[in-house]
Amino acid sequence: MSNPTNFPAKFPDWHGTTILAVRKGGKTVIAGDGQVSMGQTVVKAAARKVRTLAGGKVIAGFAGATADALTLIERLEAKLEQYPEQLARACVDLAKDWRTDRYLRRLEAMLIVADKTSIYTVTGVGDVLEPDQGVAAIGSGGAYALAAARALIDGDQDAEAIARKAMAIAADICVYTNGSLTVETI
């Protein structure tokens, strides 16, 4: 079958994000690596995948297609303006819109969103998940970072040190994760 648009029949296989959230000792940290890969090639090593929102009261990290994720972050910012100081409600409302809106439904990304007291993973299938142990992760190296952070959470290190160490462990294991970090703390 011919492709009259001259675009590839299949989009490139993009990988390369690890986002980790850690809450401990009254601090919440989200760390994200900077690697973006297409197939086996690193196309960017220092992408910024973690943002502060709501005047610095909320942090969001994203995995997936960048344009899609930034669209979701813009929508989340609007929800946070609509529901100030109500992160859970803003996340649930975003997930509801994401699930039911024809345009948003096609977006391929995930978010981790946090404030001082809560962490949520928000997905396009309507999930708003709050972790039991104050640690959440998404992306290609998310499982590695999550396991490392959970192993470290009961130790003496603070939230940022745990996030940095867990991300370093993920970068050592996952070829789609690097050590170029963006770290935001509330």
Tell me how crowded residue 123 is: count the other CB atoms within 10 A of its CB. 16
Among all residues, which ones are annotated catalytic? 17
CA distance 37 to 54: 30
Residue 105 per-residue DSSP state: G
Yes or no: say if 124 and 107 are a contact pair by the CB < 8 Å rule.
yes
Q: How far is CA 9 from the centre of its chain?
A: 28
Say whether 47 sits in a helix, a strand or coil. coil
Instruction: State the Cα angle at 61 between 56 and 66, rounded to 5°.
Output: 120
Contact 91, 38 (CB under 8 A): no
**Range list of H helices, 50-158:** 66-82, 87-100, 142-152
